Amino acid sequence: EAGVAQSPRYKIIEKRQSVAFWCNPISGHATLYWYQQILGQGPKLLIQFQNNGVVDDSQLPKDRFSAERLKGVDSTLKIQPAKLEDSAVYLCASSLVRLSEAFFGQGTRLTVV
Amino acid sequence: SQQGEEDPQALSIQEGENATMNCSYKTSINNLQWYRQNSGRGLVHLILIRSNEREKHSGRLRVTLDTSKKSSSLLITASRAADTASYFCATDRSPLMDTGRRALTFGSGTRLQVQP
């Protein structure tokens, strides 16, 4: 079975620029998560989708971050404008059943300079 | 905010020894999961224990859950150098006490180093 696909793997941008990350979950997985992981810390949940509805986005900085999940499958996470403190690895995960075992992609490492 | 807090933050042991990591959480949960992260394979699910279970085994892993103390422990027996990684607990936290909207939330992790 194919895993969770994320792109790009690496991205370097200047502050105040915008950036978008893409995630393709495992086929049939209804739940999709986006996490931000700063070096040395645990993954911080940004947003959780159930199909194409938002379950929790309480920690998503909505003034600069946005996310959508079209047709309950692929998802994009956007940052506009980026700040230096957004430098982190952005992880996408999916699970078949809500809150069951989550499968993670390899992540996108974002560096804001 | 992080739901779980792992203890210790870092642990260094010799190959063959057992490693124990603890996780404490704050709100009610339906289940608790443990994940491993190393540079080669990213985040990988290890084991899930439900709130009505007290102990679960998977190979060299043993997980316990004490809902009265809101804590869990992960025991790795006969550790190997390949077990070197960061270990995270994750719970289905209810944001803003809304039990209808549970989200998978991770702790800060324990960094395990197994010396060969």
Kindly report, residue by residue over B38-62, the tens digit of the pLDDT: 976 789 999 999 999 999 999 999 9
Task: Sort out which chain B residues have CB atoms less than 8 A from A42's CB and list them.
Answer: 2, 88, 106-109
Does position B102 have pLDDT exceeding 50, yes or no?
A: yes
CATH number at residue A38: 2.60.40.10
| Domains observed in chain B | 5-115 (2.60.40.10)
Does position A105 have pLDDT exceeding 70, yes or no?
A: yes
Range of the domain at A12: 5-112
A45: nearest CB among B88, B105, B108: B105
List the structure tokens of A88: 């982190």
Phi/psi at A86 (nearest 5 deg)? Answer: -80, -5
Burial environment of residue A113 by CB neighbours within 10 A (0 to 12, 13 to 18, 19 or more) = exposed
Does position A66 have pLDDT exceeding 80, yes or no?
A: yes
**Lookup result for tokens 């704050």:** B26
Q: Report CB contact under 8 Å: A103, B45.
A: yes
How sure is the predictor about B100, in pLDDT bands with cuts at 50, 70 and 90? low
- B105 close contact with A: CB closer than 8 A: yes
Distance CA A99, CA A9 (A): 26
Task: Sort out which chain A residues have CB atoms less than 8 A from B103's CB and list them.
Answer: 45, 48, 55-56
Q: CB–CB of A49/A32 below 8 Å? A: yes
pLDDT digits (tens, 9 = 90+) for B4-29: 688 899 999 999 999 999 999 988 88
Does position A2 have pLDDT exceeding 90, yes or no?
A: no
C-beta contacts of A63-68 below 8 A and 24+ residues apart: A67/A34
Q: Report CB contact under 8 Å: A58, B31.
A: no
Does position A14 have pLDDT exceeding 50, yes or no?
A: yes
A99: nearest CB among B35, B43, B104: B104
Task: Sort out which chain A residues have CB atoms less than 8 A from B88's CB and list them.
Answer: 42-43
DSSP 3-state of B24: strand
- What is the nearest CA distance from A15 to chain B, expressed in angstroms? 25
Per-residue model confidence (pLDDT) at position B1: 47
- What is the nearest CA distance from B17 to chain A, expressed in angstroms? 25
Distance of CA A56 to the CA centre of its chain: 13
Which of B16-28 are b and which e, b meaning 16 or more Cβ less than 10 Å from the residue's Cβ?
A: eeebbbbbbbeee
**Lookup result for tokens 């986005």:** A57
Distance CA B101, CA B29 (A): 12
Tell me A8's DSSP state. -
Q: CB–CB of A54/A72 below 8 Å? A: no
Domain count, chain A: 1
